[in-house]
C-alpha cells in the first residue's frame, strides 16, 4: 500500500489522526504539494496525473460579513476564497444573513445562518457592561464569548450532525472565531464519526510587553493577567487532541501551542488582502528636500502607539520636512489633539477620522510611509493593505506586523521601553528624509511580497494543501515557511513605480469619502463579540 512519509496510508478509513506529521518542529522550508492522489507507476511510462476530486467542506464562519471590518471581513473574504477551491457550505451567525444575501449568496444552497441570539444577545449586553468602555477589555469580551459560541456550535450540530455522520462532508473547518482560547466541542464529535476537523488560522494572545503595563491598564485588560485560565474551559484540551489539523496565524500563537499537539499544526498567517480592493499604486517619488508623507491607520487606543509616532516626528513636522495623516477614531483622540497643540505641529498633521474601506487605498497611495508603532498587534491586516499600494512600513517587531514586514520591504523596530521605540522611529524617519530614494525599492518589494503570498486566493491554496494532506490526497506535509519568505526573483512582479518625480509641497487629499464618528460604530459594536484588528 502506498504510504506517506509519516507512515500513514494514502487510502483507508478516515480518522482524526490523518493529519499526522513526521515532526512536531516548526516547518521552515516551503514544500511542493503533490498534485495527485497516488503517483503514476513509473513502469507504465508517462501518464497523465489524475487530479484529486473536489472536497466537500462544511465551513464554519461564525464571524463573517462583507459589510463589516476586522475579523468579520476576514471571515467573509477567506471563506469566499476557500469556496473557489472546494465545494463549501458556509455556516454563519444570523446577524450576517442579510449581508450574505446582498452579496449574492443563496440561503440553504450557499450558506446557513444559525440563530443563536437567545444567548448571544445576552452575552453581548453583559460584555458591554463589564468591558470598561467601547473598544476596551477585549480579553474579557473573548472570555464571555466562549458561552455564546458554545451555544452556536450546539445549534450547528443539531442541524448538521446527521449530515456529518452520513459522510455528506469530507471535513469540517472552523474558520472563525479566530481566538485560540475558544474551544470547539465539534472536534470530538467529528472524530467519533471519522470526519476530520480543521481549525484556524487561530491567532491571539500576544503577551503584553513588560514596559507597557500602563497601556494594558488603560485598555481595561484586567482579565489578561489571568489569561492562562482559559485552559480550564471545558473542551480546551479535547479540541486540540481531536482536531486533525490546526492552522496557526502567528509565531506567537505557535509558541503558545503545547509541544504534544504541534504535529498537527501548520503556520498560515491570519491576514490577507483582496486585490480588487487594493488596486491603487503609490505614484509619489519624493526627492531629498521634499516633504515625506506619513500615514497611520488604526483605532486611537493606547497600544496602537500613535502618541509615540507624534513624538518621533514632531521636530520633522515643525521643520516642514514631514507631514502626518492619522486615520481613525478612539478614546485617545483628545490626548493626541493636545499633543499636537503642545508641539505646535497642527499645520502638518491631519486627522480625518475614519475613512470608508473602499476609499482607503486611495488615501494610502497618496503617502510614502506607513508608520505603525503598535506594541501588541495580533495580525496587522492594515500593514498588508499599506504594503499592497506600495508604501514602506515602519513597525514594531512584535506580534503580527513583525512577521509581515521584512528587511527588504520596510523597517522593524525592536520591542523595548517607550523611549527606545520613539528614538528608533526618529532615527528611521530622519534617514528617510535624508535619502528617500530607498522608498522605491522597498515599496516595490512590499507589493511583490503581498501579491505573491498575502492574497486571499494564495491563502486559500495554502488551506487546500492542508485539507489534501489531512484527507490523504497528498504525500507531502505542507510547510510554507515561518514567517513566510520573500518571493523568489522569478516570482517578482514587474517594476511598479515609473511615475515622474513630484515637486512642491503636497496639497490636501481630494476625493476621499470621510465618515464622521457618528456614522461609524467601533468594531466590537458592529460585529457583536469580536477581536480588534
Structure confidence by residue, pLDDT tens digits, 332-379: 999 999 999 999 999 999 999 999 888 999 999 999 999 999 998 888
User: Distance from first CA to last CA of the chain, Å, rounded?
Assistant: 47
How does the average pLDDT of the chain come out, rounded? 82
My answer on whether 199 and 344 are in the same domain is no
Contacts of 484 (CB under 8 A, 6+ apart): 269, 403, 453, 454
Residue 33, domain member (yes or no): yes
Contact 470, 463 (CB under 8 A): no
pLDDT at residue 30 tops 50: no
My answer on whether 80 and 227 are in the same domain is yes
The separation between CA 503 and the C-alpha centre of its own chain, rounded to angstroms, equals 37
Residue 114, domain member (yes or no): yes
CATH number of the domain at 443, please.
3.40.50.2000
Q: Summarize pLDDT for 414-441 with one digit per residue, the tens.
A: 999 999 999 999 999 999 999 999 999 9
Query: How would you class 430 by CB atoms within 10 Å of its CB: exposed for 0-12, middle for 13-18, buried for 19 or more?
Result: middle
Give the relative orientation of helices 418-434 and 306-318 as an angle to the nearest 10 degrees: 40
My answer on whether 210 and 61 are in the same domain is yes
Model confidence band, residue 210 (pLDDT cutoffs 50, 70, 90):
confident
Average pLDDT over residues 173-180: 95
My answer on whether 210 and 330 are in the same domain is no
Pairwise pLDDT comparison (378 vs 9), residue with the higher score: 378
pLDDT at 224: 57
Residue 277, domain member (yes or no): no
Residue 531, domain member (yes or no): no
My answer on whether 114 and 171 are in the same domain is yes
Residue 478, domain member (yes or no): no
> What is 212-271 written as a DSSP string?
GHHHHHHTT-GGGGGGGGGGGSTTHHHHHHH-SEEEESSHHHHHHS-GGGGGGEEE--S-
Q: Summarize pLDDT for 236-263 with one digit per residue, the tens.
A: 899 999 999 999 999 999 999 999 999 9
My answer on whether 418 and 352 are in the same domain is yes
Cell of 393: 512600513
My answer on whether 325 and 254 are in the same domain is no
My answer on whether 267 and 320 are in the same domain is no
pLDDT at 142: 65
* DSSP helix/strand/coil, 427: helix
**Into how many domains does the chain fold?**
2
Residue 226, domain member (yes or no): yes
My answer on whether 75 and 184 are in the same domain is yes
Rounded percentage of the chain residues whose pLDDT exceeds 70? 76
Residue 77, domain member (yes or no): yes
HSE (side-chain half, CA atoms, 13 Å) at 460: 22
What is the spatial distance between Cα 73 and Cα 531, in angstroms, rounded to a whole number?
A: 12
What is the spatial distance between Cα 421 and Cα 373, in angstroms, rounded to a whole number?
A: 8
Q: Of the given ranges (206-215, 240-249, 265-274, 276-285), which has the lowest mean pLDDT?
A: 206-215
My answer on whether 233 and 300 are in the same domain is no
Contacts of 254 (CB under 8 A, 6+ apart): 26, 248, 262, 265, 267, 482
Which of 136, 143, 89, 141 is closest to 529 using CA atoms?
A: 141
* DSSP helix/strand/coil, 352: strand
My answer on whether 165 and 127 are in the same domain is yes
My answer on whether 173 and 242 are in the same domain is yes
Residue 119, domain member (yes or no): yes
Domain limits at 265? 16-38+54-272+456-470
Amino acid at each position: 500500500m502506498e504510504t506517506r512519509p509519516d507512515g500513514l496510508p494514502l487510502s483507508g478509513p478516515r480518522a482524526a489522526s490523518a493529519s499526522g506529521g513526521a515532526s512536531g518542529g516548526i516547518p521552515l522550508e516551503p514544500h511542493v504539494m503533490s498534485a495527485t492522489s497516488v503517483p503514476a507507476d513509473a513502469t507504465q511510462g508517462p501518464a497523465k496525473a489524475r487530479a484529486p476530486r473536489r472536497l466537500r467542506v462544511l465551513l464554519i464562519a461564525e464571524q463573517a460579513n462583507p459589510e463589516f471590518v476586522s475579523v468579520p471581513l476576514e471571515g467573509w473574504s477567506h471563506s469566499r476564497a476557500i469556496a473557489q477551491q472546494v465545494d463549501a457550505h458556509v455556516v454563519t451567525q444570523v446577524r450576517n444573513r442579510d449581508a450574505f444575501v446582498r452579496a449574492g449568496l443563496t440561503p440553504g444552497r450557499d450558506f446557513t445562518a444559525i440563530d443563536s441570539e437567545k444567548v448571544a444577545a445576552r452575552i453581548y449586553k453583559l460584555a458591554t457592561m463589564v468591558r470598561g468602555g467601547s473598544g476596551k477589555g477585549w480579553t474579557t469580551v473573548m472570555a464571555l464569548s466562549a458561552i455564546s459560541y458554545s451555544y452556536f456550535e450546539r445549534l450547528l450540530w443539531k442541524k448538521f450532525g446527521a449530515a456529518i455522520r452520513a459522510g455528506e462532508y469530507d471535513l469540517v473547518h472552523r474558520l472563525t472565531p479566530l481566538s485560540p482560547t475558544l474551544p470547539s466541542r465539534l472536534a470530538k464529535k467529528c472524530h467519533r464519526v471519522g470526519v476530520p476537523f480543521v481549525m484556524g488560522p487561530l491567532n491571539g494572545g500576544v503577551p503584553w510587553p513588560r514596559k507597557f503595563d500602563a497601556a494594558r491598564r488603560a485598555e481595561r485588560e484586567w482579565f489578561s493577567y489571568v489569561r492562562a485560565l482559559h485552559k480550564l474551559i471545558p473542551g480546551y484540551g479535547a479540541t486540540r487532541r481531536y482536531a486533525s489539523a490546526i492552522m496557526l496565524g502567528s509565531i506567537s500563537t505557535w509558541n503558545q501551542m503545547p509541544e504534544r499537539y504541534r504535529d498537527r499544526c501548520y503556520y498560515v498567517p491570519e491576514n490577507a488582502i483582496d486585490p480588487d480592493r487594493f488596486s491603487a499604486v503609490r505614484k509619489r517619488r519624493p526627492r531629498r528636500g521634499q516633504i515625506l508623507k506619513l500615514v497611520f491607520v488604526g483605532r486611537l487606543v493606547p497600544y496602537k502607539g500613535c502618541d509615540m509616532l507624534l513624538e518621533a516626528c514632531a521636530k520633522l513636522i515643525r521643520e516642514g520636512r514631514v507631514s502626518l495623516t492619522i486615520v481613525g477614531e478612539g478614546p485617545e483622540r483628545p490626548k493626541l489633539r493636545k499633543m499636537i497643540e503642545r508641539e505646535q505641529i497642527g499645520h502638518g498633521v491631519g486627522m480625518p477620522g475614519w475613512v470608508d474601506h473602499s476609499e482607503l487605498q486611495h488615501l494610502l497611495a497618496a503617502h510614502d510611509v506607513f508608520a505603525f508603532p503598535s506594541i501588541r498587534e495580533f495580525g496587522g491586516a492594515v500593514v498588508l493593505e499599506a504594503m499592497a499600494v506600495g508604501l514602506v512600513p515602519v513597525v514594531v517587531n512584535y506580534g503580527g506586523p513583525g512577521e509581515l514586514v521584512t528587511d527588504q520591504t520596510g523597517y522593524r523596530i525592536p520591542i523595548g521601553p517607550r523611549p527606545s521605540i520613539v528614538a528608533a522611529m526618529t532615527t528611521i524617519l530622519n534617514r528617510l528624509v535624508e535619502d528617500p530614494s530607498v522608498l522605491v525599492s522597498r515599496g516595490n518589494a512590499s507589493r511583490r511580497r503581498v501579491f505573491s503570498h498575502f492574497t486571499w486566493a494564495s491563502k486559500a491554496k495554502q488551506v487546500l494543501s492542508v485539507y489534501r494532506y489531512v484527507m490523504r490526497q497528498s504525500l507531502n506535509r505542507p510547510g510554507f515557511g515561518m514567517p513566510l519568505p520573500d518571493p523568489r526573483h522569478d516570482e517578482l512582479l514587474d517594476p511598479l513605480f515609473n511615475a515622474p518625480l513630484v515637486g512642491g509641497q503636497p496639497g490636501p487629499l481630494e476625493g476621499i469619502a470621510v465618515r464622521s464618528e457618528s456614522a461609524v460604530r467601533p468594531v466590537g459594536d458592529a460585529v457583536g463579540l469580536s477581536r480588534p484588528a
